[in-house]
């Protein structure tokens, strides 16, 4: 396939790397990184949008303006309902295919995902995108775009919750004069309990993803008329640690 990658940050670089590894022809469009390239490639089979969320709408506009052919697929993490809203706004088919990357190991993560989630615009396009990933032999979940958006936010918010759990457990251990690493080893010996978050006790979760995704999830709860007590508490505790 001939594939555009819009945005050449961590996500865009990893996605371009993966597509080349799968032996596709890749074109990069990012005016901040490659100012000499003034427009995305027009004659392609598929375009991955890998920009920050605030540039996704602009990217879709650019693709339509330049009459770029093929499927439009957003890799960016989005606020809930964004993909559906963009499809209605521009009357085009768009899919959401979230990334699950760590910034310091993005190339390794993109080669070895635990799963691939496709928020399809329609069955035909969903199957076409799934076939692109089929050589990787990983579980593929095909759903609607809003479910895909929420799955990404829940995934990162769950990780934020685990970090917070162990940070608060560490606070109790310190008060009681106990060894938190010994406690964590005993507790996580239960195969049902994750050890994620036990590598850096007492440190808040930071970076580009977890805090922002937690905020997006909280906003989704409020937009749905619900009060996210757990997720609000996670945010509040993490803010206290960050001071």
Q: Would you please indicate which residues are annotated as catalytic (active-site) residues?
A: 209
Closest CA to 120 of 130, 111, 110: 130
Return phi, psi of residue 96, to 5°: -115, 125
- Which residues share a beta bridge with 72? 47, 94
Q: Give the count of beta carbons closer than 10 Å to the beta carbon of residue 51.
A: 22
DSSP sequence for the chain = -EEEEE--SHHHHHHHHHHHHTT-EEEEE-TTT-TT--S--SS-SEEEE-S-GGGHHHHHHHHHHTT--SEEEE-S---TTHHHHHHHHHT--EEE------GGGHHHHHHS-S-EEEE-SSHHHHHHHHHHHGGG---EEEE-HHHHHHHHHHHHHHHHHHHHHHHHHHHHHHHHT--HHHHHHHHTTSTTS--TT-SSTT----SSSHHHHHHHHHHHHHHTT---HHHHHHHHHHHHHH-
Q: How far apart are CA 150 and CA 155, in angstroms?
A: 8
């Amino acid at each position: 396939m001939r594939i555009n990658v819009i945005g050449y940050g961590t996500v865009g670089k990893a996605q371009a790397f993966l597509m080349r590894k799968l032996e596709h022809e890749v074109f990069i469009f990012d005016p901040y990184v490659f100012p000499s390239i003034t427009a995305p490639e027009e004659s392609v089979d598929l375009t991955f949008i890998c920009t920050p969320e605030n540039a996704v709408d602009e990217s879709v506009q650019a693709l339509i303006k330049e009459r770029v052919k093929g499927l439009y697929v957003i890799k960016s993490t989005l606020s809930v309902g964004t993909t559906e809203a963009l499809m209605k706004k521009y009357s085009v088919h768009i899919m959401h295919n979230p990334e699950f990357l760590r910034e310091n190991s993005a190339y390794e993560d993109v080669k070895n995902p635990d799963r691939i989630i496709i928020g399809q615009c329609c069955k035909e396009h969903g199957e076409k995108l799934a076939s692109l990933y089929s050589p990787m032999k990983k579980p593929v979940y095909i759903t609607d775009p809003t479910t895909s958006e929420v799955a990404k936010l829940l995934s990162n918010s769950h990780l934020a919750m685990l970090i917070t759990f162990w940070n608060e457990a560490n606070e109790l251990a310190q008060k009681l004069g106990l060894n938190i690493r010994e406690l964590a080893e005993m507790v996580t010996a239960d195969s049902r309990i994750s050890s994620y978050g036990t590598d850096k006790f007492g440190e808040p979760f930071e970076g580009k993803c977890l805090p922002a995704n937690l905020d997006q999830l909280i906003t989704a709860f409020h937009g749905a008329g619900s009060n996210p007590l757990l997720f609000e508490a996670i945010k509040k505790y993490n803010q206290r640690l960050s001071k």
